[in-house]
Amino acid sequence: MTTIVRPTVLIVGASRGLGHAMAAEFLRHGWNVIGTVRDIQPTTPLHQLAQENPDRVRLETLDMCDNDQLTALDTKLSADRLDMLFVNAGTTNRDPTQTIGEVSTAEFIAVMLTNALAPMRVLERLQHHVTPQGLLGAMSSGQGSLTNNLRGQRELYRGSKAALNMFMRSFAAPLDITSAGGDGAGVDSYRAGWR
């Protein structure tokens, strides 16, 4: 009997929306999927996908802003080799029309932590599970572009994604592992396609 060896992707933030859509597409293309949810109890679209594909979709709990949970996930993945690690989780402030000066300090910290710092902590902490020719990625946004910001608005969200883009570039640079070259895993940030 021939055993099918399937590539494996870990998607952080896969419970719904873009993360769930990515999980479904990777599954459709023959990959095994490990998807994280913040709470294992509520039923999400990812839970349904796992119920329909119990041998190929695995759920793990992770609030990526919680270092203890990240450490626990790192330990749980000890026997796993990933072909791709992708951080999709993100957030915005309650009132995206606020200027940066109007945003509360607490909300600023929460958005920057979720959209910029936590994704980098996840990638740095879990990168050793990715195969040498694998891919490390994070979901950014066209709104994180300095050049393309012609309309303004959504200042906190834009700033957090611009920070993520810079952190991703800095992460890749000393390792020579950008998607443009190098011998190791590729590193890239992606945008969903809307502005």
Kindly tell me if the per-residue pLDDT of 178 is higher than 90: no
Domain that holds residue 12: 8-190
Distance, CA of 88 to CA of 192 (rounded, Å): 10
Which of 39-43, 116-120, 138-142 has the highest average model confidence (pLDDT)?
A: 116-120
Mean pLDDT of all residues belonging to the chain? 86
Q: Which residues contact 178 (CB under 8 A, 6 or more apart)?
A: 169, 172, 186, 187, 188
Q: What's the whole-model pTM score?
A: 0.87
| Total count of domains within the chain | 1
Q: Is residue 88 situated within a structural domain?
A: yes
Sheet order of strands, 186-190 included: 57-61, 32-37, 8-12, 82-87, 130-139, 186-190
CA atoms within a 13 Å half-sphere pointing along the CA-CB vector of 100 = 9
Q: Is residue 1 situated within a structural domain?
A: no
Kindly tell me if the per-residue pLDDT of 191 is higher than 80: no
What would the pLDDT profile of 53-76 be if each residue is shown by its tens digit?
A: 999 999 999 999 999 999 999 999
Report the CATH number that the domain containing residue 87 is assigned in CATH.
3.40.50.720
Q: Is residue 49 situated within a structural domain?
A: yes
Q: Is residue 2 situated within a structural domain?
A: no
